[in-house]
Amino acid sequence: MSLSPDQGTQYGNLFSYKYYLRPLAHRLYGNSSTTKVKHQQNVQKLLQILFTNGTSTTWDMAKIKFHNDISAIRTKEKEYRRLLIGRTDRGRHSPGVLDVGLIVKDGKSYKKGSPSDQYRLSLHGILYCLDVLNLSHKDVEKMVSKYSNILPKIFGKWEYLKSIIEDDVYKLQILSKGLLLDNPNLVKDQRTPLYELMSYINIKYRRYYESISEKDLAEQISYWFYTYLLYQRKTSKANSNKTKTHLGVQKLQRVFKRDIELSDWYKEFFKEAENYYKDRTNMIKNSGIF
């Protein structure tokens, strides 16, 4: 994977998260908040600090626990720095959380005079936290307020979305576990293009498995989020009548009705997918095989 010189780390698309980074992070840092491994506990504490507090220096992170105890802050700061950048012991380097891609550098702080690196969660780091840490809705709300500029089409519209889709705003946790991303069972619902749109999201970003910009990854996650609203685990009897509009479609329509900018953005993606499938259908028809 390529290295971003500004962020000091690396990450790929959602497939990369599901099949590479998530399994790696589970192995290194645990797949549950109840882990008994000390190193995993320490990393998870570090991630939760950045999850709820946003961009911070190692000094800022250490002060959260020890406040005005300067000696304790310095000791904790060194520990956090080792967790972030890893360590080299007898010529062997152990990767830090920054190397893995759960955390990125985010500019400099000059509060202490000399410049200090600032850190925050990457989008993959946010997904890992949603996947593994035992987070409350209150914790998620804190995170959203700190990272609204990183995922603007979701976190930047949080209160608006909550007013319409209520607890469905928390469904990014589904994505954090790698679910409903490339599941062929999505095709079972024949009343919406859920399977086709989810498949096209993967097609659109397939070339970015090894490296993707944060902006493009945010777009991919956002497309998944709004497309997911089409998903209905069970079709109610009231909605089984084919003359009625699908509940998932109704939900999307309510979201887009009051936000024209969001509607235009998703419509462009929708048309792009529509044209892609038309072209593929024509290719099959004109292949001359039969």
pLDDT tens readout for residues 123-139: 999 999 999 999 999 99
Partnered with residue 87 across adjacent β-strands are 94
Instruction: Please give the structure tokens belonging to residue 166.
Output: 């209520």
pLDDT computed for residue 95 by the predictor: 80
CATH topology of domain 14-128: Arc Repressor Mutant, subunit A (1.10.10)
pTM of the prediction?
0.91
| CB within 8 Å of 1: residues ≥ 6 apart | 10, 11, 12, 16, 101, 210, 211
pLDDT at site 188: 74
Residue 213 has pLDDT above 60, yes or no: yes
Residue 49 Cα to chain centre, angstroms: 17
Provide the terminal-to-terminal Cα distance of the chain, rounded to the nearest Å. Answer: 42
Determine the average pLDDT of the residues in 193-211.
94
pLDDT in tens, 255-287: 999 999 999 999 999 999 999 999 999 999 998
- ∠89-91-94 over CA atoms, to 5°? 55
- State residue 114's pLDDT score: 80
Reported in sequence order, the residue ranges of 8-154 that DSSP labels E, i.e. its strands, are: 87-89, 92-94, 103-109, 116-121
Residue intervals of the chain classified under CATH 1.10.10 are 14-128
